[in-house]
Amino acid sequence: MTATPIAPILDHESTAVRAELARTDVKASTVLAFAGTSFSVLAALVTLASGLAVPARVGLGVAVALLAAASAVALTVIRPCLPRQGGTGFVAHAAADVEQLLAGFAADAETRRARDVIRLSQIATAKYARLRRAVDLMLAALAVVVASLPLGAL
């Protein structure tokens, strides 16, 4: 039985995790566009629709707050991740001095790549968790809007 070379596997995993990071930014942009537009429309409706029944206005106000929260969470997905220590690539290089940089490059290439894959995977997982939270807030806002619509006629 022959051992599988690790370098191609690490290269594949690095490429895959970098693609996932790019996908989170695209998804976050979509969430931000939808949440921002919905937020603006509902905020204007709550402000201008003084003829709506109070329960409907309160419900729409809650939906506006949920959409604002969803936007804030989605913004944290596209906010650059600059750790105080560690990181990968240029972020790690910026915090190092010459000796640290050379010592890091002197380490085994597979070990360096494995550390990068782990750190990038942690960043991608955290971004996906925040993206999920933003979508959950938007779904809650949608449910509140749907529940508030019948109250508008009261």
Contact of 21 with 79, CB cutoff 8 Å: no
Here the tokens at position 151 are 């109250």
pLDDT at residue number 2: 57
Q: Which tokens hold the place of 33?
A: 């566009």
Question: Residue 142 pLDDT > 80, yes or no?
Answer: yes
Helix axes 54-78, 6-48, angle to 10 degrees: 150
Most confident of 2-11, 77-86, 113-122: 113-122
Give the whole-angstrom CA distance, residue 140 versus residue 146.
Answer: 10
* C-alpha to C-alpha distances, 11 to 55, 90, 114, 153, nearest whole angstrom: 56, 18, 9, 60
The confidence score (pLDDT) of residue 124 equals: 92
Q: The whole model's pTM is what?
A: 0.80
Confidence of residue 108 (pLDDT cuts 50, 70, 90): confident
Find the helix or strand (DSSP H, E) in which 74 lies: helix 54-78
Q: How do residues 55-105 score in pLDDT, each as one tens digit?
A: 888 888 899 999 999 999 999 998 887 776 667 777 777 777 888 888 878
Quick one: CA dihedral 11, 13, 16, 21, positive or negative?
A: negative
Lowest mean pLDDT among 37-51, 63-77, 113-127: 37-51
